[in-house]
Amino acid sequence: MEVSEGREILRTEGLSKRYGRIQAVSDMDLRVYDSEVYSFLGPNGSGKSTTVGMILGLVRPTRGRALVFGSDMATHPWPALRKIGAVIEAPAFYPYLSGYNNLKALAITLGGITNARIDEMLELVGLRDRGHDPYKTYSLGMKQRLGIASTLLRDPELIILDEPTNGLDPAGTREVRDLIPRLARQGRTVFLCSHLLHEVQAVSDRVAIVKRGRMVAQGTVAELLGSGQYLRMRAADNEALTHALAGVPFISAVERVDGFVRATAPVAKAAELNQALATLGIYVSELTPWEMDLESVFMELTGEEAEA
Amino acid sequence: MSIQRLMAGEFFKLRKRMMTWILAAIIVGLIILLYSILWSISGKAGGYFDRDLGRRVQYEELRRGIFLQAGVPFALQIIAQFGSLLAVIFAAGAAGSEYSWGTVRLMATASSGRLRLITARLIVVCVMVALGTLLAVVVALAYSAVITAYYGGADFSFITSEFLREQFLSWLRTVYVMAPFVALAFAAAVIGRSTLAGVGVGLAVSFLEPLIGSLMRLGGPRWENVPNYLISANRSVVLAQNKLPAGLPEFSFGPSKRDLERQGAFSPEAAAITLALYTVVFLLAAFIVYRRRDITSASMG
CA-based nearest distance B125→chain A, Å: 16
* Torsion angles phi and psi, residue A32, rounded to 5: -125, 130
Query: Confidence band (pLDDT; 50, 70, 90) for B251?
Result: low
Report whether pLDDT(A1) > 70.
no
Contacts of B111 in chain A (CB under 8 A): 109
CB contact under 8 A, B300 and A50: yes
**For residues B180 and B275, is the Cβ–Cβ distance under 8 A?**
yes
> Does the distance separating the beta carbons of B297 and A81 come in below 8 Å?
no
Burial grade of B28 (CB within 10 A; 0-12, 13-18, 19 or more)? middle
Is B205 a residue whose pLDDT tops 90?
Answer: yes
Residue scoring higher pLDDT (B278 or A200): B278
What does the pLDDT look like over B125-134, one tens digit per residue? 999 999 999 9
Mean pLDDT across A269-291: 89
User: If you average pLDDT over residues B34-52, what whole number do you get?
Assistant: 79
Residue-level pLDDT at A25: 95
Minimal CA separation from B104 to chain A, in Å: 9
Question: Which of A5-9, A35-39, A278-282 is the least confident region?
Answer: A5-9
Sort B145 into a burial class: Cβ within 10 Å, 0-12 / 13-18 / 19+: middle
Nearest chain B Cα distance for residue A282, angstroms:
52
Interface confidence, given as ipTM, is 0.85
Position B54 scores a pLDDT of 67
Residue of A45, A58, A106 lying closest to B108 (CB–CB): A58
Check CB contact under 8 Å for B12 and A105. Answer: yes
Cβ-defined contact of A46 to B301 (cutoff 8 Å): yes
Which run of H or E residues covers position A39?
Answer: strand A37-41
Q: How far is A208 from chain B (nearest CA, A)?
A: 17
- E-strand stretches of A78-203: 84-87, 158-162, 189-193
- Best interface-test mutation with B: which of A109, A118, A153, A161 has the largest number of B CBs within 10 A? A109
Q: Which of B6, B18, B295 sits opposite A58 (nearest CB)?
A: B295
Tell me A73's DSSP state. T
Contact status of B295 with chain A (Cβ, < 8 Å):
yes
Q: Across all residues in chain B, what is the average pLDDT?
A: 86
pLDDT of A206 > 50? The answer is yes
Residues of B in contact with A105 (CB under 8 A): 9, 12-13
Q: Is B298 on the interface with A (CB under 8 A)?
A: no
Interchain contact, A101 vs B111, CB within 8 Å: no
Q: Is the pLDDT assigned to residue B287 strictly greater than 80?
A: yes
- Partners of A78 on chain B (C-beta within 8 Å) are 1, 112-113
pLDDT tens, position by position, A221-260: 877 776 667 888 999 999 999 999 988 888 888 888 888 9
Inter-chain residue contact B106 with A56, CB threshold 8 Å: no
Residues of A whose CB is below 8 A from B13: 94, 97, 105
Q: Which residues of B touch A86 (CB under 8 A)?
A: 109
Q: For residue A135, what is the nearest residue in chain B, using CA coordinates?
A: B101
Q: B12, A108: Cβ pair inside 8 Å? A: yes
Which residue in chain B is spatially nearest to A25 when comparing CA positions?
Answer: B301
Residue A66's SS3 state is strand
Mean pLDDT of chain A: 87
Pairwise CB contact (< 8 Å): A44 & B103 = no
What single letter denotes the amino acid at residue A227? Answer: S
Instruction: Tell me what the mean pLDDT of segment B97-106 comes to.
Output: 91
Q: Using 50, 70 and 90 to split pLDDT, how confident is the model at B75?
A: confident
User: Cα distance from B4 to chain A (closest Cα, Å)?
Assistant: 9
A140 closest CA partner among A179, A166, A121, A174: A166
Q: Does B109 touch chain A (CB under 8 A)?
A: yes
pLDDT attached to residue B60:
73
Tell me the pLDDT tens digit for each residue of A32-51: 999 999 999 888 888 888 99
Chain-chain contact of B5 with A111 (C-beta, under 8 angstroms): yes
Name the interface residues of A facing B (CB cutoff 8 Å).
Answer: 24, 44-50, 53, 56-60, 78, 81-82, 84, 86, 88-90, 92-97, 101, 104-106, 108-111, 150
Residue A219 has pLDDT above 50, yes or no: yes
Taking 90 as the threshold, does the pLDDT of residue B301 lie above it?
Answer: no
Q: Are A104 and A147 in contact (CB under 8 A)?
A: no
Residues 6+ apart with CB under 8 A from A293: A197, A198, A201, A225
CB of B299 less than 8 A from some CB of A: yes
How many Å apart are CA B253 and CA B237, to the nearest integer?
A: 12
Res. B299: pLDDT tops 60? no
A174 pLDDT tier (thresholds 50, 70, 90):
confident
CA nearest to A57 within chain B: B109
Cβ pairs bridging A and B (under 8 Å): 91
Q: Are B76 and B178 in contact (CB under 8 A)?
A: no
Query: Is residue B21 less than 8 Å (CB to CB) from chain A?
Result: no
Cβ contact, residue pair A24, B301, below 8 Å:
yes
What is the pLDDT at residue B254?
A: 66
* Predicted local confidence at residue B187, as pLDDT: 97
> HSE (CB half, 13 Å, CA atoms) of A140?
10
Q: Where are the alpha helices (DSSP H) in A126-269?
A: 140-153, 170-185, 197-203, 221-226, 238-246
Distance CA A78, CA A57 (A): 9
**B6: chain A residues, CB-CB within 8 Å:** 109
Q: Is the pLDDT of residue A2 over 60?
A: no
Q: Do A92 and B102 touch (CB under 8 A)?
A: yes
Chain B residues within an 8 Å CB radius of A109: 1, 5-6, 8-9, 107, 110-111
Q: What is the reported pLDDT for B52?
A: 64
Q: CB–CB of B6 and A109 under 8 A?
A: yes
Torsion, Cα B258 B259 B264 B268, to 10 degrees, reads -70
